[in-house]
Every structure is written in structure tokens, then in C-alpha cells.
Structure 1
Amino acid sequence: MKTRDSDIVKADTERTSSRILEMLDVKGKVTETGAMTSPCSDYDSAEEVYRESHPWSIYKASFADMQKGVERLRAELPKDGWKIVKDGRDGSQLNSPQIIAESKGREFAVDVRLHKASKVGNSPPLLEVTVESACYRAK
């Protein structure tokens, strides 16, 4: 496992998120969050092993536009060095479409879920994206 500077990993995670947003090319509002550092649960808690996670969503866009964005992403990810490891349904109550992909070299993973508008809770359509870095030891 690599030892890395967490600020650099955080910046790389946010840059990767921006690239995913470019590939989606959906005109709507984007939540403004930054990457967050969290412990990697896959490792012994005595080790200081972390990952960066950058969750964000696109809202105030039509479901049809979001669907087109997911189709673009499905086509563009492999061209951009990503391997799609899951392309199906997320198994939630809404059974939303989901794409999970890993970057070449597995430095990053992305989880994309497309949620229809729901009358329960009056939820609008939402395109949910989470980009995560590989686990690393902090310098």
C-alpha cells in the first residue's frame, strides 16, 4: 500500500470527480461538497490507513437528461481508462440503476446511481455520485 500525502490524494479525488461531472454533461444544480478523509475499514484499526471520499449529486435536471448523462458516462468511462465492474440495479427499495467503475490502476472507484422522482417524501429525480480513492497510508 502506498504512503501518500492526504492533501494530494484529496485534490486528486476532487479532480477525478470533476472529470466524472464533465463526462456526465448534465445541466442542473450540483451539490457543493469536498472530498472527506475517512479510515479504511478494510484494515486493522491500529494502522493509520485512509481513503478520500467525494459524494455529490446533480439535481434540478430532468430525469431524461440524467438518463442521457448516465448513458454518456457508460460510453466515456472505458475511453478514459475506467473499467465498469457493475452495471445494473442497486438492490435498494427503489431498485435504482447503478454503475460502479474502477480507474486504470485502481486508484479510484466511482459509484453512480440514478434515482427517479418519488412521491414518498416528495423527492425530485437525483443523480448521486461518489468518488473514492484507494486506501493509503498518510505521510
Structure 2
Amino acid sequence: MKTKPSALVLTLTLALSTLTGCGMTENNSSGTPFAGISTSSDASDTMEKVSSGIYDLIGVKGKASDSRPGVLDCSGKDTKTYFRIFHPWAFTPGSASDLDEAMERLRSELPKHGWKIVEYGPDTSKNKNIKLTADNDRKKVGVNIVQMSKNDPPILDLTVVSGCYQVPDGEEVERF
């Protein structure tokens, strides 16, 4: 699926700014929770599993974009040993009429699976896209979902973002 670079940058910026606060924080200097010790590759696999779990909650027929997670720095931390994982992807329902149902299912099902919805409602764009932000404190992960009803085709734009990981002793962050 093709995504306009400016839309991806805007979505990622929104996700990062909203997911570093709320319930997914601990008392540390960056405001981002510690997600554990892991290699970049293993943390990436974990994020794909989180995204897959969210996909399963959508509950309507459709198609997810084929995208891979990427690596981000942890603000204020050594970039050789600390990192975050982000996984941007999109869901296109089988029919445009299923988009509302998909978003409503996420809104009702995410809390049943350990997610706390910290923001829900229209964004400030001219299209008034519906935005849902949720944190999973146990998994140290947040998700930002934007329902883009006026896109052609209509989509859910999702970005899953982890807390800060630390690589095992003797290793460095692998960038991809």
C-alpha cells in the first residue's frame, strides 16, 4: 500500500508525541517506560505480534499493509544501547461501510485485552478523522489509530510504539 510520506511523518509524529505520556510512563528522565532488555530484532518481532493481536481485534474482513517495524532512539539515552520500536501499518476493510465497525470494535475490544484508551475523538484535520490512542502498561506499548473515512480507499492508519529497550551487554542497537 502506498502512503504519502508527509502522512506517514505526521502520523508517526502524532504517535510519538501522544505515546510518550499518558499511562505508559514511569518516573524516568525521558518519560518513556523501560520495556526490558532485548535485541532490536527480537523487539521488532514482539511489536509485530502486538500489531497482529490488534489486527485480530478488528474483526471485519479486510487487508493489512505489509510493513516492517523500525528503530527509534530513546530521548536522552545512549543511542548505542537504548532504542524503541515503531510499527506503522494500515488496515483497509473489505468494504467502506466496515470502517466504522472496525474502529468501534477496537474501541470496545482493546480495553478487554489490557489496553487503556487515553484519547478518543475527532482530530483537528479538515476531515475530522477519528483518533484513538491507547496504552498497554503491561506490555509497555502504545498505539495510535486514525480512522481516515475520506481516504480513497478508507483506511485505519495504525502506529504501534514500544517503550525503551536496552540491548544485552556487549551488543549495540541494530538499525533498520
The TM-score, its normalising length taken from structure 1, stands at 0.85
Match for 2:113 among 80, 93, 101? 80
Q: Is the 8 Å Cα contact of residues 65 and 90 (structure 2) preserved in structure 1? A: yes
Q: Are positions 1:22 and 2:56 aligned together? A: yes
Work out the CA distance in 1 between the residues paired with 2:139 and 2:46: 13
Structure 1 residue 133 corresponds to structure 2 residue 147: no
Instruction: Give the conservation status (yes or no) of the 8 Å contact 2:99–2:149.
Output: no
Distance 1:106 1:91 in 2: 29
Moved more, 80-89 or 54-63: 54-63
| Runs of at least 5 residues in structure 1 that lack an aligned partner in the other structure | none
Secondary structure, aligned partner of 2:97: helix
For residue 132 of structure 1, what is the amino acid of its counterpart?
V
Count of residues paired in the alignment = 134
Distance 1:47 1:94 in 2: 40
Is the 8 Å Cα contact of residues 113 and 128 (structure 1) preserved in structure 2? yes
Instruction: For residue 73 of structure 1, report the CA deviation from its aligned partner.
Output: 0.8
Report runs of 4+ in structure 1 exceeding 6 Å deviation: none
Tell me whether 1:107 sits opposite 2:140 in the alignment: yes
The root-mean-square deviation of aligned C-alpha atoms, in Å, is 1.9
- State whether residues 102 and 108 of structure 1, in contact with CA within 8 Å, keep that contact through their aligned partners in structure 2: yes
Residues in 2 aligned to 1:65 and 1:43: alpha-carbon distance in whole angstroms: 42
| TM-score, reference length from structure 2 | 0.68
Matched, 1:4 2:33: no
Aligned residues with identical type, % of pairs: 31
Counterparts of residues 48-63 of structure 1 (less than 5 Å): 48-59=81-92, 61-63=94-96
1:34 maps to 2:54:
no
